[in-house]
Amino acid sequence: MSNKTINFMETVLRDAHQSLMATRMSTEDMLPIVEKLDQAGYTSLECWGGATYDAAIRFLNEDPWQRLREIRKRAKNTKLQMLLRGQNLLGYRNYADDVVESFVANAAEAGIDIFRIFDALNDTRNLKTSLKAVKKANKHAQLVMCYTISTVHTVEYYSKLAQELVDMGADSICVKDMAGIMTPEVAKELVTELKKVTDIPIEIHTHATSGTSEMTYLASVEAGADIIDTAISPFASGTSQPASETMAYVLKEYGYNLNVDLDAMEEVAEYFKPIKQKYIDEGIFDYKMMDVEPKALFYQVPGGMLSNLYSQLKQANATDKYDEVLKEVPAVRKDLGYPPLVTPMSQMVGTQAVFNVIAKERYKMVPNEIKSYLRGEYGQSPAPVDETVRKNIIGDETVMTDRPADHLEPEMKSLAAELGDLAKTEEDVLTYALFPQVGLTYLKNKYSNKPADGKEDDITKIKVTQI
């Protein structure tokens, strides 16, 4: 029995539908339940960031900023949280510091209380500008350790990283297990060590993909974790998070104090049941993402990446290559110095694995983003890159060793000039900055009330070069 209070962060408005149905939940389906979510006692509601911005302008013809403001109006008691990719923001490259500063300031103004900031490589240099901007806005900066498994990603590695994040000024730390591969025993050891490093809140984020998530959460809580990320049951499990109600019931039985209201949670669940059915009927909710996939423990592939890989293979009429691609992913990852498989690295590694399998020759086709990574433009790889692979792809090109954003000139003024009269607000400029092609189309449609066409750019339609 324990007198400790365990807090819950609800993911249904962001990560749950991002993981299960490619972030297609509409604002219209979210708003009616926000007030009830606000009454359920969550420590925060994750409702923005990740792929929500991209999906809103690309497929839903929705203004992501307006979605955030509308949720903020209805959530009067609960903190709103977003996922921010450090210097990548919500896009797929490093942005100049002035873009990062503008984005954070505008997001804080629109309603975000907690910024969960991560870097795909755990390169803390890529967190500094967004962290400083969050502090300037007097908001909560939650710094992230992206959890993965490799020869270098040991408990000692994460303990040292946690100390660095604390020294940087983190208000809390999130262990982000995006692939659902942190086993209970490792969770117990890791959280125990983190609690020796710091007394700031430790939040654990995992996915149910591999089948270990509930056990991992219980072990984490018993080791001292303060907050767990869960999803209301209709949008829980599979590649999403464990069910909020289930974890609340179990932890209450174990004697932990909870701020969440199980009756309110039940009302929220009842609301989302027909919403889920609607997306099933429309073919958007993919039941394949509900499978338990123990292979994730071996391939370290996140849930959202599984759905993206399958989608890419489907477009190429090569779904029969799915298992072969899964086996190729860890091989590519090793070649690239064991980057954690989280956006944008998950898309980059996954796409390279698809190309390697479909081309029947490794690295015959290489995305430009992989070339940029090998030039050091995303930051420092956790382990050394295979130099033979690097040389075969980029030859003798210079490899960057300092903070990538130090090489970028300020962008906001030039981006605003490019847009001209089409930019009515600073938010419009940021949309264009993050997604140049899709953003431009969206802004034209926004001010002429045309529907989104779902065209792709950036990492979702990777530019391929032969080598």
Fold identical between 3-280 and 300-400? no
Identity at 427, one-letter amino acid code: E
- Tell me which H or E stretch contains 196: helix 184-197
- DSSP SS3 for 142: strand
Tens of pLDDT, residue by residue, the chain (467 residues): 578 999 999 999 999 999 999 899 999 999 999 999 999 999 999 999 999 999 999 999 999 999 999 999 999 999 999 999 999 999 988 999 999 999 999 999 999 999 999 999 999 999 999 999 999 999 999 999 999 999 999 999 999 999 999 999 999 999 999 999 999 999 999 999 999 999 999 999 999 999 999 999 999 999 999 999 999 999 999 999 999 999 999 999 999 999 999 999 999 999 999 999 999 999 999 787 888 888 788 877 776 677 678 878 888 899 999 989 989 999 999 999 999 998 889 889 999 999 999 999 999 999 999 999 999 999 999 999 999 999 999 999 999 999 999 999 999 999 999 999 999 999 999 999 999 999 999 999 998 866 555 544 444 343 333 33
What's the CATH number of domain 300-400, 3.30.70.360, 1.10.472.90, 1.10.630.10, 3.40.1280.10?
A: 1.10.472.90
Contact predicate 209/179, CB 8 Å = yes
What CATH number belongs to 3-280?
3.20.20.70
pLDDT of residue 452: 55
Rounded CA-CA distance 27/303 in Å is 23
pLDDT of residue 458: 44
Domain borders along the chain are 3-280, 300-400
Six token digits for residue 119 = 């870097």
Q: What is the DSSP string of 429-461?
A: HHHHHH-HHHHHHHHHHHTTTPPP-----GGGG
Rounded CA-CA distance 204/79 in Å is 17
Six token digits for residue 388 = 């033979």
Q: How far is CA 104 from the centre of its chain?
A: 16
pLDDT of residue 304: 63
Rounded CA-CA distance 260/107 in Å is 26
Rounded CA-CA distance 150/381 in Å is 12
Radius of gyration of the chain (CA): 21
Rounded CA-CA distance 383/342 in Å is 16
Contact predicate 146/340, CB 8 Å = yes
Rounded CA-CA distance 347/444 in Å is 28
pLDDT of residue 465: 32
pLDDT of residue 450: 60
- Is the Cα torsion angle 225, 231, 237, 239 positive or negative in sign? negative
Q: CA geometry: angle at 351 spanning 398 and 443, to 5°?
A: 90
- DSSP SS3 for 223: helix
pLDDT of residue 449: 66
| Residue 356 CB coordination number (10 Å) | 21
Task: Report the candidate in 52, 132, 141, 61 with the shortest Cα–Cα distance to residue 90.
Answer: 52
Rounded CA-CA distance 206/146 in Å is 11
- DSSP SS3 for 386: coil
Q: For the purposes of burial, counting CB atoms within 10 Å of the CB of 92, is it exposed (0-12), middle (13-18) or buried (19 or more)?
A: buried
